[in-house]
Amino acid sequence: MLITHDTRCALDAVVDLVNTAPDSDGGAAGAEGLADLPALAAFVEKHDISDVGVLAERDLAAVRAIRARFAQVFATADPHGAATVINDLVAAAGTTPRLTDHDGYDWHVHYFAPGASVADHLAADCGMALAFFLVAGEQERLRRCEAPDCRYAFVDLSRNRSRRYCDSRTCGNRLHVAAYRARRKEAAG
């Protein structure tokens, strides 16, 4: 499937967003990653989410609310369940598809409405990015890390959909090293 620059950015943003959830909210192991407005501002800056105005407490609440919905998309293998969540998110955000070739990128479509809040911006563009995976029959690429103490969300963009860990250089390696040590111990004992 074709993944444009903006789709890639939206995927990075939604994965990062889902992974800010504390584990009590069904997120990965860890504390609340969007604890306050400065944390939200850092997220907005990191993902270059444009034109969202001055951030307020209601933005924080709204972003946490859509985060919980997005987490459901990564938690289910059922396309109907995922489709319902994505439809709700995108509809509530009020999208305005708009062709653009900003900043030297090829033609692509922005979905967020002009002046959209940060939550609506994310719901529209990340919702549509995930929608394309369902359309392409690729929902299984929307995964959670298999490391038992991690469970981070990630998008498997590998050719043969074989990725099992959120970041093979940390989680994958960590498990490989643990398995290697266990084997050595067995051999030595």
Total number of residues that touch Zn ion (CB under 5 A): 8
Stretch that binds Zn ion, among 6-14, 34-42, 51-59, 66-74 (CB under 5 A): 6-14
Residue 43 CB, nearest approach to Zn ion (Å): 18
Reduced to 3 states, what is the DSSP secondary structure of residue 32?
A: coil
Q: In the set 15, 21, 147, 155, which binds Zn ion (CB under 5 A)?
A: 147
Asked if 166 interacts with Zn ion (CB under 5 A), we say yes
Q: And the tokens for 188?
A: 């030595």
Residue 36 CB, nearest approach to Zn ion (Å): 25
DSSP state of 109: E
> CA-CA distance, 133 to 139, in Å (whole number)?
5
Asked if 152 interacts with Zn ion (CB under 5 A), we say yes
> CA-CA distance, 149 to 40, in Å (whole number)?
25
Asked if 49 interacts with Zn ion (CB under 5 A), we say no
* Alpha carbon 127 to chain centroid, angstroms: 10
Q: In the set 63, 150, 153, 155, which binds Zn ion (CB under 5 A)?
A: 150
Query: Among residues 42, 148, 50, 30, which one has the least CA distance to residue 98?
Result: 50
The Cβ-side half-sphere exposure at 110, using a 13 Å CA radius, reads 17
Stretch that binds Zn ion, among 14-22, 68-76, 77-85, 160-168 (CB under 5 A): 160-168
Q: And the tokens for 184?
A: 């050595």
Asked if 145 interacts with Zn ion (CB under 5 A), we say yes
Residue 103 CB, nearest approach to Zn ion (Å): 7
Q: Which is nearer to Zn ion, 43 or 112 (CB)?
A: 112
Q: Which is nearer to Zn ion, 111 or 133 (CB)?
A: 111
> What residues contact residue 96 under an 8 Å CB cut-off, 6+ apart?
111, 112, 113, 114
Tell me which residues touch Zn ion (CB under 5 A): 6, 145, 147, 150, 152, 165-166, 171
